[in-house]
Amino acid sequence: MTQAATERLFVYALLLRDDLRADTFGRRVTGEPDVLPGFRLGYTAFDLPQAHGIDGSRRHPVARRTGHASDKLVGELLSVTPAELEAADEYASPGYRRISAVLASGHRAWVYVHPDRTGIAD
């Protein structure tokens, strides 16, 4: 029996790529455009073996909370199964933390963010 897609997941940066989505979820997952307010895209250096070879860099994009209403992170809202959400957890570890957030659309979704609460690092 196949699980229903009952979880909402906001993705940005690398998981906007169809090939990485298919690798992560084991299927083609399409999404709807959405925005995460109060966050900006920053970069951090950590070792993500699953991302090696994409651009040869150890700098990885990450959502960073700013709290400023004018800051917005553009991405997509996906509907995934609980098992697919677990697969996303494995993909994101250890450099991200999953939180629940309200998107510009009004939907509440999971999103992977930088684990600290400091400002933007570039």
| In-domain check, residue 31 | yes
| In-domain check, residue 80 | yes
pLDDT value of position 58: 66
| In-domain check, residue 94 | yes
| In-domain check, residue 120 | no
Q: Give me the residues paired with residue 41 across strands.
A: 63
pLDDT value of position 103: 97
Q: Considering its fold, how many domains does the chain have in total? A: 1
pTM, full prediction: 0.83
**Rounded Cα distance, 81 and 2, in Å:** 9
Tens place of pLDDT for every residue, the chain, 122 residues? Answer: 467 889 999 999 989 999 999 999 999 999 999 999 999 998 877 655 555 445 556 677 889 999 898 999 999 999 999 999 999 998 886 778 899 999 999 999 999 998 765 444 43
Pairing of strands 7-11, 108-113: parallel
| In-domain check, residue 122 | no
Domain holding 54, by residue range, is 7-113
- Give the containing element (helix H, strand E) for 88: helix 82-92
Looking up residue 97, the CATH number of its domain turns out to be 3.10.490.10
Q: Are the C-beta atoms of residues 41 and 73 closer than 8 Å to each other?
A: yes
CB under 8 Å to 74, separation ≥6 — which residues?
12, 33, 35
| In-domain check, residue 1 | no
